[in-house]
């Protein structure tokens, strides 16, 4: 089944707009900019939503207006409102276990300690949704709390690398939407292992 909804995770408001934890929202906002469309607030869905065209197919995009830890409240409403199965949904989120500038695709699995994914699994009652994981790396110093790290802005070098990864994610979207998983995996693997 093809992807019908792409959801970018993060925290709402200008305080968090450029932080590491907001990579999903940054991805969606840049994607909308590239298609010259704007996100509109849908209060009943706790989300900002829009529509884009990929592979001549209309795909909905959304950013929850809830905080990260309760992202599932919004995603559950979106899935029910649009009558979507979990495997029609792609969730874009930050990933501590990937270096800044890496990007990987995954289907199913647990939440890996990511509170946004944990809440989504709770509200969807499923793990079979797809994920596009944007690497932000882990704190370089053990004394830095992960919570503080993700709620701060990346360094300039990290930001450049992350935005290159986001562009690569855009390039892979036609194959993701079409569910051409081997091509997606190969394309992102090649990008992640570039010199």
Name the residues annotated as catalytic: 21
> Is residue 19 classed exposed, middle or buried when 0-12, 13-18 and 19+ CB atoms within 10 A define those classes?
buried
Extract the tokens encoding 155. Answer: 């360094």
Distances (CA, A) of 122 to 33, 117, 127, 131, 152: 31, 9, 9, 16, 27
Extract the tokens encoding 128. Answer: 């079979």
Q: How far is CA 132 from the centre of its chain?
A: 6
Query: What does the buried/exposed string (b/e) look like for 35-72 if buried means 16 or more CB atoms within 10 Å of the residue's CB?
Result: eeeebeebeebbbbbbebebeeeebbbbbbbbbbebbb
Residue pair 138/149 in contact by the 8 Å Cβ criterion: yes
Beta bridge pairs of residue 64: 47
Distances (CA, A) of 15 to 20, 46, 143, 148: 12, 19, 23, 13
């Amino acid at each position: 089944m093809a992807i019908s909804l792409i959801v970018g995770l993060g925290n709402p408001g200008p305080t968090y707009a450029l932080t590491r934890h907001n990579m999903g929202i940054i991805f969606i906002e840049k994607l909308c900019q590239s298609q010259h469309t704007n996100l509109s607030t849908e209060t009943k869905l706790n989300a900002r939503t829009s529509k884009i065209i990929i592979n001549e197919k209309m795909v909905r995009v959304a950013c929850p207006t809830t905080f990260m830890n309760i992202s599932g409240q919004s995603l559950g409403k979106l899935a029910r409102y649009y009558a979507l199965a979990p495997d029609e949904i792609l969730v874009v989120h930050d990933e501590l276990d990937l270096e800044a500038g890496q990007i990987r695709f995954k289907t199913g699995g647990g939440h890996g300690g990511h509170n946004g994914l944990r809440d989504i699994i709770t509200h969807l009652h499923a793990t079979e949704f797809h994920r596009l994981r944007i690497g932000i790396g882990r704190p370089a110093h053990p004394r830095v709390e992960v919570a503080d790290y993700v709620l701060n802005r990346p360094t300039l070098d990290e930001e450049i690398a992350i935005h290159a990864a986001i562009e690569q994610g855009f390039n892979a979207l036609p194959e993701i939407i079409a569910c051409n998983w081997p091509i997606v995996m190969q394309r992102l693997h090649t990008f992640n292992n570039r010199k």
